[in-house]
Chains A and B, each alone.
Chain A
């Protein structure tokens, strides 16, 4: 039963995409189809919770294109966590998109919803991949299926953004990741994800270090510097795409893959024993600080959020490379907490665009009086990104700092603290100025985004706070990774 559920989790969004195409002529029915598909997906992912908590990891083999390298799916705690986040936030984003796409008068909405569903299907495939080959396959499908979403507007700017997007993601994955996958197979004779890793005793520390670097840079979706430029370029997409894909599904697929490869291909003992991966640690640290510094100077709100995402993604990479219990747990928790926080911020940015037609940070003074709910949500989510109580972001940062100290890198704990200060510096002024600064041309009247947008914003904001008080379910899954 559970085995076939794995296949259906990948297929359900595809079926949904087909249904969206068929019902494209009736927008209300089309959106209902998206929502029902999303609900069905959540229900299916939920059925996997109890087997995973019981320590099982059911798997299913689909087909074997290359002998010894099967296309296979398997659930394990990290994949479950990622699939759950993506499925739940997909429904939230669909609700949001109904308000946004109609409020903003976007064209080609059927195509939008269909490719959105296909992208979710690819995301589920990444989450459930049983081996590197399957992961690589769905990773590439995710790139290809999101390309039409990034270039949705069809303008020259969208075309340029799409070029950078595809160029960097495809270039790194074909250039480094594929090589790393084949090399791993050459060394280990398998590409399967096994607890404890498959590379122990197969090769020298030097090769391990090179291989790990190929993976870390080859997974361009994790946006390690210098391969981060695609994420700001992708901001040309409609806001729901930026929200779900470029704050949650696509970028998290990247760091999820790095985390998964760290745990199940290299193995924590192997990595912490050699020190071969120290350079990546510093690349991550530089990305954390560097992207935050760039974010400080961005006036376009979505670009500022994008650079914030780049910085936050490297938290997860940092946790993975630390390769100790607290680091891994922190990385996994951070995937979840950053997802709800950043998606809220993007929702708010889109709401501001739809209701007030503003895209620049410098135009937002005094907007809090017109859009109190949106700006209130922005404030809470900003706190969560900075990692301040009473919001969920605290937990990820907490465990990551612990991990850095455990590994003997006091400097990295300092980097995390400095990053918190920078987060505060580039995010908090936005809601504060919106509430307290005097606007130039704004009236005082209440003018919020459409209702579906507000519903979605409230839901994810509540999640930001709820995960602070009840982090237990997320932590439980995260701690299973290092048991």
Chain B
């Protein structure tokens, strides 16, 4: 039965498609393969999500080798949800990528570009789906290496230094994760997450366990871009090709956050990770500083891709705050924001990509009068921006509501103040763009010139999703709260 092989297909389809892309190397063909593979992954992820919602966890053993020896995949509500986010964003953004990539990347490199894209997708999906700690590291390297390549393909020469910076930081992060996993293996003799979860409580009170935990969290902190380990992110997002910024901003850090959640809640357990270890306090402090400092820095950015990148660092702060509360409500808010933030940043980066395609710039000063030149693109940008601020009727508001409520339930007042201050800062950095686009006089007489439909449709799909999930939250809040409950309740 094909439906039993869904977990394998989730990873294998983009991996094989990547090989085809490399062989074919023609831009149009490679794009078609990328789109088709992304769409197929999306279909698979939705089918799995559906199955998990109906009948619970899916266990899959690769090649029929059972857990201690073979690699086990395990799909529960949490990673089915993340898989859905990643594959959906890849599909939507790949539609946009065609025109964007044609204008930003030389023809002979486009085949490589799509190959790297599919490898990155493979890696991200693999990290999410696997139930094996070492396998997770392998996929992490696949996604990291391919994303260095993707970023380095940016048109600006500074893309190379940005990619190099990311390479160094990312490698340090991956090494830390590997050391962490290695220590756990030394301690328990297993790499399977289920077995780890069973064996760790007995040995939790050892220096090895604590050291392993510390290496893992710091390594993941680098991949998540949690303040102050975020330094690679602004340059990487600012100089990467537009499509890559949109894809990575909406998925890469999300997957890293998922891994952190998986280790904290499923492998180490809440008592150890958030109780015995000072992680909750650390996340609360670093998250607060991230929200306030990155939002403030975002205000002063002239390059809007950098501005959105700093905003992403701030949003990661919100995710960290939700985890730090260590309550089901806080975790629900984090998981919900994972989804909603993917929607808003996707919409914003895609809209910026449309603008870059038309005017060849993403600098604030070149935005004068853009509201009249590109009304549809700017419309999508404004919707995404309002969602980022957290205006009611948008997905961002729902996130903010749950996060503030969770902080109030816990009685952590300072967190509430930080969240609110963060949204006020967001008003400033979003509105300076709106003001420039609609109220500043364009330099010369310019006529209306929109981006092509293939770029506008993805932008508006994401913008409409922001509005839809601001009103109908059965899917987003429903799954997020069930997933949070499952992380808190039963060990997967």
Question: Which residues of chain A have a CB within 8 Å of any CB of chain B?
Answer: 63, 65-67, 69, 71, 133, 136-137, 140-141, 144, 148, 151, 154, 158-159, 162-163, 166-167, 170-171, 174-175, 178-179, 182-183, 185-186
Contact = CB atoms under 8 A, between A and B. Distances in A.
Nearest to B416: A179
Nearest to A153: B439
A166 B427 contact: yes
Contacts of A158: 439
Interface in B402-437: 402, 404-405, 408-409, 416, 420-421, 423-424, 427-428, 431, 435
Sort A-B residue pairs by CB-CB distance and give the 6 closest, nearest first: A137-B392, A186-B408, A182-B404, A159-B439, A65-B471, A170-B427
A154 B439 contact: yes
B113 to A, nearest CB: 39
- The residue in B402, B421, B439 that gathers the most chain A C-beta atoms within 10 A of its C-beta is B439
How big is chain B's contact interface, by range? 20 to 34
Nearest to A182: B404
B154 interface: no
Contacts of A170: 389, 424, 427
B401 interface: yes
B420 A178 contact: yes
Chain A interface, DSSP helix/strand/loop, else mixed? helix
A162 B435 contact: yes
A136 B438 CA distance: 26
A186 B472 CA distance: 21
A186 B427 CA distance: 25
B365 to A, nearest CB: 15
Contacts of A66: 398, 401-402, 473, 477
Interface string B467-478: 000111100010
B391 interface: yes
A137 B393 contact: yes
A339 to B, nearest CB: 26
A106 B404 CA distance: 44
Contact of A182 (B405, B427, B472, B473): B405
Interface of B: 386, 389-393, 398, 400-402, 404-405, 408-409, 416, 420-421, 423-424, 427-428, 431, 435, 438-439, 441, 470-473, 477
B439 A63 contact: no
B391 A140 contact: yes
B431 A171 contact: no
Nearest to B427: A170
B392 A136 contact: yes
B347 to A, nearest CB: 17
Given A66-B477, A154-B439, A171-B424, A178 B404 contact: yes
22 contacts: A65-B398, A65-B473, A66-B398, A66-B473, A66-B477, A133-B392, A136-B392, A137-B393, A140-B392, A144-B391, A162-B439, A163-B431, A170-B424, A174-B389, A174-B390, A174-B420, A174-B427, A182-B405, A182-B408, A186-B405, A186-B408, A186-B409
A183 B398 contact: no
Contacts of B391: 140, 144
A65 B420 CA distance: 20
Contact of B405 (A65, A167, A185): A185
Contacts of B477: 66-67
A289 to B, nearest CB: 30
A185 B392 CA distance: 16
Contacts of A151: 438-439
Contacts of A148: 438
Contacts of B416: 179
Contacts of B424: 170-171, 174-175
A424 B458 CA distance: 60
A138 B420 CA distance: 19
B420 A175 contact: yes
B292 to A, nearest CB: 14
Contacts of B427: 166-167, 170-171, 174
A183 B441 CA distance: 43
Nearest to B431: A166
Contacts of A63: 471-472
